[in-house]
Structure 1
Amino acid sequence: MPFSTNRKQSDRLAYKWIVVLVVIFGSFMGILDQTVVNNALPHLQRAFAVDFNSLQWVITAYTLTQGVITPTTAFFANRLGMKRFYIISLILFTLGSALCGFAWNLPTLIVFRVIQAVGGATLFPLAISFLFAEFPPQQRGLAAGVLSVSALMAPAVGPTLGGYLVTYASWPLIFFINVPVGIVAIVLALLLLRKRPAAGHFPFDLPGFLLVASGLTAVLYALSNASISGWSSPSVLVTLIGGLGLLALFARVELRLSSCGKRPLVDLSLFANGPFLSSNIANALISFGFFGGLILLPIYMQELRGLNAFESGLYTLPMAFASVLAALIGGRLVDRFGPRVALFPGLALLCLATWQLGEITLTTSYPWLVLVFVVRGLGAGLVLQPLTVSALSKVSPNQYTQASSLNTVVRFVFTSLGIAVLATFVQSRAGMHVSALASQVRTISPAIRQQGLDLAVQDAFWLSLAAFALAFLVVCFLRVPKPVPQEQGENTASERLVVAE
């Protein structure tokens, strides 16, 4: 009997690392394609002979679709089973990627991007659910740190990879590169993942879906369009206010369903959970400042320093490696001492790096910039994954998929908000600085325009710094118990073995 028990425990320990191997492929691809297209937009514009405003839909359609589909993750995971739904998502994403590479005009590319996003939207929340179901509480920091290879590497690798492919090859390769990776991920999932039983055939919350789909679509469209049309544009204001109204109605409908004992599409009662609420507020502020702030780096590196897309990506690549290293170290710290031990130094490093970026000039040395990027990456690695651990720290296992989906939607929305706000902020501040500088010399030269844009980029980084400072205050109120070395109940022996590993 003891031999049988030990064998079962060893099998569990081995399987959790198999899960890591499988899900990291899918989550990396899903996040990578949020950024890999950015540097290819000028090439796509020439290939399809379209204006830049129309071309923005290549990114906007992907973002909107992800925002709409992500809240349905929990329903389909429960209805179909997590393994089956994960494989279906991988197939859709891989198929969409292949079709994008074969697109013959802009409308077909946008349609194929929607197919790609339908599959990609659920990959990251499903990855979190798989990992948290297999890793014991005292190792979830490690699990989240390992998953950071996708969450943190992809946004930094995307522009570099996209810049290289469009500079030295051709734009279809930015989509075709997903196909072999997707096929490997599908085969691994089919062969290695174990089936998890479906939770039952409960009704689909159609009113909730229609409200959240239309509300998120309107809000994300307004945020995406604000950087082009401006915040005072009637189309931006109408869609933003209308979308917020629909989301407020959605919240009321979902809470009423919960109070009646029915199963809503999204369990908003999770926000009554203190650590989940505080972690998501911090997640929103950091997504605004960090992921939204990524749009400022190519503006500075390419428009002000004259680098091409690939060179710009190479300079920011060390940030990605630093963030992954910090996340793996931070995961261990979280497992031993709790999330705040990693969150406070991480936010301090983010604030330090962003303060220095708020001082960059047209002559700032490249070695110093790389050092600042590394510090920024270390800070991001120490905060993003511990926030996932703290958000799910008091969530019951049957709510992991719901909670991780909500966490992902918060990141989507506030990343889009950060991009929109910071992009329009740079535009408006650049105009003000150029006017102020021109009034002193009574002429507007290219040098004056460059100086004005540089000052505007500095201002935008200071705005990001304000978001990080607010996140620091939120984390001060975050209360998460330190992980215990073992859990009481039927899995006690198994958990003790994990700790002794």
Structure 2
Amino acid sequence: MQTSQQQARDKNTFEYKWIVTTVVIFGAFMSVLDQTIVNVALPRLQHAFHADLNGIQWVLTGYILTQGVITPMTPFVSSRLGNKNSYLLALILFTLGSGLCGFAWSLPALVVFRLLQGIGAALLTPLSLTLLYNEFPVEQRGVATGLFGIAALLAPAVGPTLGGYLVTYVSWQFIFFVNVPVGLVAILAGSRLLRNGQLGKKIPFDVAGFLLAASSLTCLLYSFSVVNSDGWSSIRVLGLLVGGVFLLALFLYIEWRAMKRGRQPLIDVSLFTNRPFLFGNIVNVFITFAFFGGLFLFPIYLQTLRSLSAFEAGLLLLPQAIASMMMALIGGRLVDRVGVRFVVLPGVLLLALATWLFSTVSLTTPFWWLQMLFLLRGIAIGLTLQPLIVGTLSAMGPAQIAQASSVVTVVRFIATSLGIAILATLVQVQAKAHLAPIVHQKDAQLFALQDALKLSVIIVFAALIALFFLRPEQRPHRNR
């Protein structure tokens, strides 16, 4: 009788973990879909609001910066509301923000509504990972993350093409309105299918840590955004940079001191004493910088320099997203068999090669060659981003998963924000530097994009170096 009850319980657990996977896919899909749709629409938004590249990039960086600031609050929110209610709250905020973005009447209004979106999106990814990792055993986390990665990478497959179609043939407002029905389905599915787990120990809110983190990141990002107009030697840029670094150092000190005194910090800095977690996050920073920086640059190249419509640009980006989606599932299975390094290493090498080849493109590069490069880049991303999460969280126990997944998400958001801000500034500055009587404006912009991609190549090689400091992992035991 006891054996029968145990089997029934195991069967129920088996079924529920796939229910959780299905539900969190909606949240992941919606969050990434929004970002990729907006990427391809940036030139259209720039025209609609009469903004320069530095101004319009805040539609992305403001959204991502908000995610980086708010994500550390995930453990606090989930300890008060529970994982299910927190997840539903995130979906509601994101869906509401999406609808408001479609009604934005100016660029500042759009940025403000994007911040509301960012608050909801900030909670979605770490809560999704926590919900998944609570149901899947350690030896199946590669498969779980691979399945989650399909949703996260399916959105880039749909996003540029759908966004391009909406911008070209409907209006830019619908790149935000499209999230509303998806969000409502996700809210309904989550409320009906997810279980109410037991509330854990209530975590106090670290007000000082939150204010220091928000102010330091804002100073750093804003300093990069005004370099184009002020120059690197200006008092404002230098003041913001120095102030941002100082506030960041003070934040780390405050968090370390709070942890030593037994209080709950906003971010548990002791997690970085774990070797896989430390070097996994370092690799995460470099790979995310190069990947999302490229997502920002490619639509500009295809639409502004090659005169493609947003829809045509989306179609050209489609092979990259499909390849990354397929390789994420394959990479997830391979991680469970051979370990993280043997999957991520080929991915990083392919990403370096693809980024270098992209840095050599011209105004007449054949589109079939560009598609081959996007395909190669997609394979690299599929072997890198999602498997890297598995390796980073590989040594974390159940009690650490919520905090650790939040930190991983924060690191990725910060790297994305910095990547977009730094590369956007570099393109603006280098375009002016290359512009001369014998160099046309399009050529100057092309040379500037090439410079930005060359910097990305260097960043990817830095990821390759950091990857070698990860210890080889033993193959986990698999259920038979």
Q: TM-score range by the shorter chain?
A: over 0.9
Q: How does 1:96-111 map to 2 (within 5 A)?
A: 96-111=97-112
Q: Give the Å deviation of 1:268.
A: 0.7
| 1:476 equivalent in alignment to 2:468 | yes
Alpha carbons 1:34, 1:63 under 8 Å: kept = no
Counterpart-to-counterpart distance in 1, 2:287 and 2:52: 33
Q: In the alignment, what sits opposite 1:3? A: 4
Indicate yes or no: 2:453 matched with 1:461. Answer: yes
Pairwise CA distance, 1:346: 0.8
For residue 391 of structure 1, report the CA deviation from its aligned partner: 0.7
Q: Does the alignment pair 1:116 with 2:117?
A: yes
Instruction: Give me the whole-angstrom Cα distance separating, in 1, the residues matched to 2:49 and 2:461.
Output: 43
| Residue 463 (structure 1) shift | 1.8
Q: Using a 3 Å threshold, how does the CA distance of structure 1 residues 426 and 58 change in structure 2: closer, same or farther?
A: closer
- 2:260 alignment counterpart: 259
Aligned to 1:368: 369
**Structure 1 pair 429–70 and aligned structure 2 pair: CA distance change class (3 A):** same
Give the structure 2 partner of residue 72 of structure 1. 73
SS at match of 1:9: helix
Secondary structure of 1:33's aligned partner:
helix
Q: Deviations over 1:19-56 (max 9, x none)?
A: 11111111222223234224434544565567776555
Check whether the contact 1:219–1:239 (CA below 8 A) recurs between aligned residues.
yes
Residue identity over aligned pairs, in percent, reads 53
Distance in 2, Cα, partners of 1:233 & 1:32: 38
1:404 lines up with 2:405 in the alignment = yes
**Structure 1 residue 224 displacement after superposition:** 4.1
**1:130 partnered with 2:124:** no
1:63-112 deviations in whole A, cap 9, x for unaligned? 33222211111111122111111111111111111222233444443332
CA contact (8 A) 1:251 1:268 kept: yes
1:287-312, CA deviations, whole angstroms, 9 ceiling, x for partnerless residues? 11111122221232223222122211
Separation (CA, whole Å) in 2 of partners of 1:229 and 1:155: 35
Q: Structure 1 residues 243, 98: CA separation in 2 closer, same or farther (over 3 Å shift)?
A: same
**Pair 375,42 (structure 1): closer, same or farther in 2 beyond 3 Å:** closer
In structure 1, the partner of 2:182 is 181
Query: Residues of 2 paired with 1:231 and 1:393: CA distance?
Result: 41
**SS state of the match for residue 184, structure 1?**
helix
- Structure 1 residues 197 and 219, CA, compared in 2 at 3 Å: closer, same or farther? farther
Change (3 A) 1:166 1:282: same
Deviation at 1:321, TM superposition (A): 0.5
Deviations 1:106-127 (A, max 9, x none): 4443332222221111101111
2:161 maps to which residue?
160
**Alpha-carbon contact 1:83-1:196 (below 8 Å) kept:** yes
Contact 1:91 1:119 in 2 (8 A): yes
Relative contact order (alpha carbons < 8 A, sep ≥ 6): 1 or 2 greater? 2
Inter-partner Cα distance in structure 1 for 2:232 and 2:74: 32
Per-residue Cα deviation, 1:384-424 (whole angstroms, up to 9, x for no partner):
11110111011121111211111111112222222232233
Tell me how far apart the structure 2 counterparts of residues 230 and 157 of structure 1 sit (CA, whole Å). Answer: 38
Matched, 1:61 2:62: yes
2:236 is equivalent to residue 235 of structure 1: yes
1:182 CA drift (Å): 0.5
Q: 2:438 aligns with which of 429, 435, 444?
A: 444
**What's the secondary structure of 2:369's corresponding residue?**
helix
Q: Contact 2:39/2:295 (CA < 8 Å) preserved in 1?
A: no
CA contact (8 A) 1:28 1:154 kept: yes
Q: 1:445 to 1:45 in 2, by over 3 A?
A: closer
Give the partner amino acid of 1:458: Q
CA distance in 2, matches of 1:245, 1:126: 31
Task: Report the secondary structure of 1:484's partner residue.
Answer: coil
Shift of 1:226: 4.2
Structure 2 residues without counterparts, runs of 5 or longer = none
- Contact 1:223–1:416 (8 Å) recurs in 2: no
Q: Residues 67 and 233 (structure 1 numbering): CA distance in 2 closer, same or farther, change over 3 Å?
A: farther
- Cα separation, partners in 2 of 1:229 and 1:148, compared to 1, 3 Å: farther
**Deviation (angstroms), 1:259:** 0.8
Counterparts of residues 192-203 of structure 1 (less than 5 Å): 192-203=193-204
State which structure, 1 or 2, has the greater radius of gyration over its C-alpha atoms. Answer: 1
| Whole-Å separation in 2 of the counterparts to 1:207 and 1:467 | 32
**TM superposition shift of 1:428:** 3.6
Letter in 2 for 1:180: P
Local SS of the residue matching 1:121? helix
**Counterpart code for 1:331:** G
Q: Which residue of 2 aligns with 1:489?
A: none
| Structure 1: segments with no counterpart, 5+ residues | 436-442, 487-498
Q: Is 54-63 or 194-203 further displaced after alignment?
A: 54-63
RMSD: 2.2
Count matched residues.
479
1:345-364 equivalences in 2 (<5 Å): 345-364=346-365
Distance in 2 (alpha carbons) for counterparts of 1:205 and 1:154: 34
